[in-house]
């Protein structure tokens, strides 16, 4: 069994005679062991052949059968959504909507009119949408997995086969798939599915989101994993990113037990954060609206490090008035009026976050187009009104409010933005998401009060790899030494200038990487609220000197996996 990925042995370690381990991008730490359980993928070709073109009087009758199948599939999604919570419920509701999509239905109707059978009509229409979504890139491309899932379910219903998806495990198992759709992962029982491993998918894929929510170890982008036979006993390490074969069951049990004990210890950490030798570190929350700001405020955080304002307006056709915006922002600021601060990011519309009233239509390459701060070049009023609303909310709540702009490329942009923010009596900063901003961090700091590194975009732009591309998870990895070098340059500039430099991308939520970031001179880490305790607990165990050694090890490593291994060894993991 030789597993070759893109012509190299990427991610696969072999002895001469047998495969011993696979590796991928680790996204949720923890160790789990058990037999491989494959997701039931395609509908059986025999069932489709038996069904043929169905037995319908005309295209209208066939369309009625499609409607009935879609209703059943969408109802299943809705029922699962009702039983789920948070992000899982949201993605399932979105899948129900996508299944009922009118555009998809008219594509099917057209194919039926053209004389295709129902199965071919559905497959043809879905193919068309997949091409459109893939060409759009970003978040829309991520939805291709959902579309394919809908296709399989509708076809299964039409031909009378059981719905594809996760078979019910009879013992605690490791779920393995090409990629997982929300419908596969909702309702998973973490006592029976103890880890998720996928061949594709990046750190922001549904698989990763759901695994974080379930709190089970997860590795994505593990080349070759779907080729493992069902029932193969594996040990998954969600921190090292490995899937090991042939481990002694006794040893595996001990490692799982130790990991469980560690996770319980992490959950009991209650802040405030500092290194073992007393260097204070600010741990902050990433929030999207008043509700998430409110719930995060109960966690051991010292404020909000990233309020993504655009997420409040994803479904808005028209720009909300200054008063309405002020009200929304005040809802986010209010829970932190107890002396904590909130960093508000101005609209980061465009690319993977299209906003109807702001985004430019039809850009060839939206990730490199008019997004974030750049939208204000041709529409300065948009930013002026938002800043007015933020200032009003700050005054109304009395919360210390910092404001930063996304997608800043030049010092002149930073200076203009800073003047507009300071003119309203607020602290001004910019995000470091473009390599140019990192390289000129020292000059940026001459004109702003703070910097915040958005590692998701910084990685995308430094590595020229779409952050949503499921095949490029090994490049869109913040442990890439080139990305770490840019972070180190920025952090050093902050230390020299005596001004705060934080990290607010996904990298901040990685307890291992957090030690290296602090060692580089980063002063705050902002992350999803549920990631705060593991990061705080990890930092409490290490001295600043160890953090510096972790930084050096990660920066000097030849690649992300070697960096992780070096830091793990330093920390005694």
Q: How far is the CB of 207 from ligand PEP (least distance, A)?
A: 18
Closest CA to 15 of 249, 251, 244: 244
Strand order in the sheet with 31-38: 12-14, 19-23, 242-245, 233-237, 31-38, 173-177, 193-198, 218-220, 25-28
Reading the block at residue 226, the tokens are 């779907």
Q: How far is the CB of 568 from Mg ion (least distance, A)?
A: 28
Q: Of 76 and 204, which has the nearer Cβ to ligand PEP?
A: 204
Q: Which of 179, 319, 413, 457 binds Mg ion (CB under 5 A)?
A: 457
Query: CA-CA distance, 84 to 191, in Å (whole number)?
Result: 16
Active-site annotation holds for 504: yes
Q: Of 226 and 480, which has the nearer Cβ to ligand PEP?
A: 480
Buried b / exposed e over 182-191, threshold 16 CB at 10 Å, is bbbbbebeee
Q: How far is the CB of 459 from ligand PEP (least distance, A)?
A: 8
Query: CA-CA distance, 106 to 240, in Å (whole number)?
Result: 47
Q: Of 308 and 564, which has the nearer Cβ to ligand PEP?
A: 308
Pairing mode, strands 233-237 and 31-38: antiparallel
Catalytic residue among 157, 218, 474, 504: 504
The length of the chain is 573
- The sign one gets for the Cα dihedral 83, 89, 92, 97 is positive
Q: Of 262 and 532, which has the nearer Cβ to ligand PEP?
A: 532
CB under 5 A: which stretch of 305-313, 431-439, 470-478, 559-567 binds Mg ion?
A: 431-439
Pairing mode, strands 400-405 and 501-503: unpaired
Cα 510–chain centre separation: 12
Closest CA to 432 of 486, 380, 475: 486
Q: How far is the CB of 453 from ligand PEP (least distance, A)?
A: 7
Catalytic residue among 38, 206, 474, 547: 206
CB under 5 A: which stretch of 57-65, 97-105, 192-200, 428-436 binds Mg ion?
A: 428-436
From the list ligand PEP, Mg ion, none, which binds 176 (C-beta under 5 to 8 Å, kind-based)? none
Reading the block at residue 470, the tokens are 């499921």
Q: How far is the CB of 353 from ligand PEP (least distance, A)?
A: 7
Q: Which of 454, 511, 519, 560 binds Mg ion (CB under 5 A)?
A: 454
Query: CA-CA distance, 11 to 547, in Å (whole number)?
Result: 27
CB under 5 A: which stretch of 39-47, 176-184, 381-389, 456-464 binds Mg ion?
A: 456-464
Site residues (vs ligand PEP, CB under 6 A):
306, 308, 348, 433, 454-457, 504-505
* Eight-state DSSP code of residue 536: H
From the list ligand PEP, Mg ion, none, which binds 308 (C-beta under 5 to 8 Å, kind-based)? ligand PEP
Size of the site for Mg ion (CB under 5 A): 3
Q: How far is the CB of 257 from Mg ion (least distance, A)?
A: 39
**Angle made by CA atoms 23, 28, 32, in degrees to the nearest 5:** 70
Q: State which residue has the least CB distance to Mg ion.
A: 457
Q: Of 151 and 348, which has the nearer Cβ to ligand PEP?
A: 348
Active-site annotation holds for 547: no
Q: Of 125 and 453, which has the nearer Cβ to Mg ion?
A: 453
Q: How far is the CB of 347 from ligand PEP (least distance, A)?
A: 11
CA end-to-end span of the chain? 31
Q: Of 21 and 359, which has the nearer Cβ to ligand PEP?
A: 359
Query: Which residues are identified as catalytic?
Result: 206, 504
Instruction: List residues binding Mg ion (CB under 5 A).
Output: 433, 454, 457
């Amino acid at each position: 069994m030789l597993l070759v990925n893109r012509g190299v042995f990427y991610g696969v370690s072999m002895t001469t005679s047998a495969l011993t381990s696979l590796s991928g991008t680790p996204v949720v730490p923890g160790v789990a062991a058990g037999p491989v359980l494959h997701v039931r993928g395609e509908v059986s070709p025999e069932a489709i052949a038996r069904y043929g073109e169905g037995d319908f009087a005309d295209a209208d009758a066939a369309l009625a059968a499609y409607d009935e199948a879609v209703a059943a599939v969408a109802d299943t999604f809705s029922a699962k959504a009702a039983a789920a919570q948070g992000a899982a419920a949201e993605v399932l509701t979105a899948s129900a909507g996508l299944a009922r999509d009118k555009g998809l239905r008219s594509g099917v109707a057209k194919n039926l009119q053209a004389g295709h059978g129902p199965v071919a009509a559905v497959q043809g229409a879905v193919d068309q949408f997949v091409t459109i979504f893939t060409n759009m890139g970003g978040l829309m491309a991520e939805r291709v997995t959902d579309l394919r899932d809908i296709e399989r379910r509708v076809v299964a219903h039409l031909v009378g086969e059981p719905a594809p998806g996760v078979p019910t495990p009879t013992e605690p198992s490791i779920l393995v798939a090409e990629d997982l759709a929300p419908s596969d992962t909702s309702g998973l029982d973490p006592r029976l599915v103890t880890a998720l491993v996928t061949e594709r998918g990046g750190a922001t894929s549904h698989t990763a989101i759901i695994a974080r929510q379930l709190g089970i170890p997860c590795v994505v982008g593990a080349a070759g994993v779907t080729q493992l036979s069902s029932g193969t006993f594996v040990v998954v390490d969600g921190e090292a990113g490995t899937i090991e074969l042939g481990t002694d069951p006794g040893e595996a049990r001990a490692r799982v037990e130790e990991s469980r004990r560690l996770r319980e210890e992490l959950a009991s950490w209650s802040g405030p954060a500092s290194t073992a030798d007393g260097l204070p570190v600010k741990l902050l929350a990433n929030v999207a609206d008043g509700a998430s700001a409110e719930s995060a405020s109960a966690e051991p955080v010292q404020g909000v490090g990233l309020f993504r304002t655009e997420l409040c307006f994803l479904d808005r056709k028209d720009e909300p008035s200054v008063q309405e915006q002020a009200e929304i922002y005040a809802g986010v600021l209010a829970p932190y009026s107890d002396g904590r601060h909130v960093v508000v990011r101005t609209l980061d519309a465009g690319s993977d976050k299209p906003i109807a009233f702001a985004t430019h239509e039809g850009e060839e390459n939206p990730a490199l187009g008019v997004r974030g701060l750049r939208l204000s070049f041709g529409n300065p009023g948009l930013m002026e009104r938002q800043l007015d609303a933020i200032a009003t909310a700050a005054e109304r709540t009395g919360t210390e409010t910092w404001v930063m702009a996304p997608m800043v490329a030049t010092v002149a942009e930073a200076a203009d933005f800073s003047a507009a923010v300071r003119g309203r009596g607020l602290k001004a900063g910019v995000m470091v998401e473009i390599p140019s901003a990192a390289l000129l961090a020292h000059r940026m700091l001459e004109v702003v009060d703070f910097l915040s590194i958005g590692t998701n975009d910084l990685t995308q732009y430094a590595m020229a790899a779409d952050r949503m591309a499921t095949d490029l998870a090994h490049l869109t990895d913040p442990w890439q030494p080139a990305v770490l070098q840019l972070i180190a340059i920025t952090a050093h500039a902050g230390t020299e200038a005596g001004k705060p430099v934080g990290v607010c991308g996904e990298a901040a939520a990685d307890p291992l990487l957090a030690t290296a970031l602090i060692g580089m001179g980063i002063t705050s880490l902002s992350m999803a609220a549920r990631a705060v305790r593991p990061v705080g607990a990890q930092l409490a165990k290490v001295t600043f000197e160890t953090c510096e050694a972790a930084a050096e090890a990660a920066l000097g490593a030849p690649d992300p996996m070697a960096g992780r291994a070096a830091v793990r060894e330093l920390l005694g993991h």
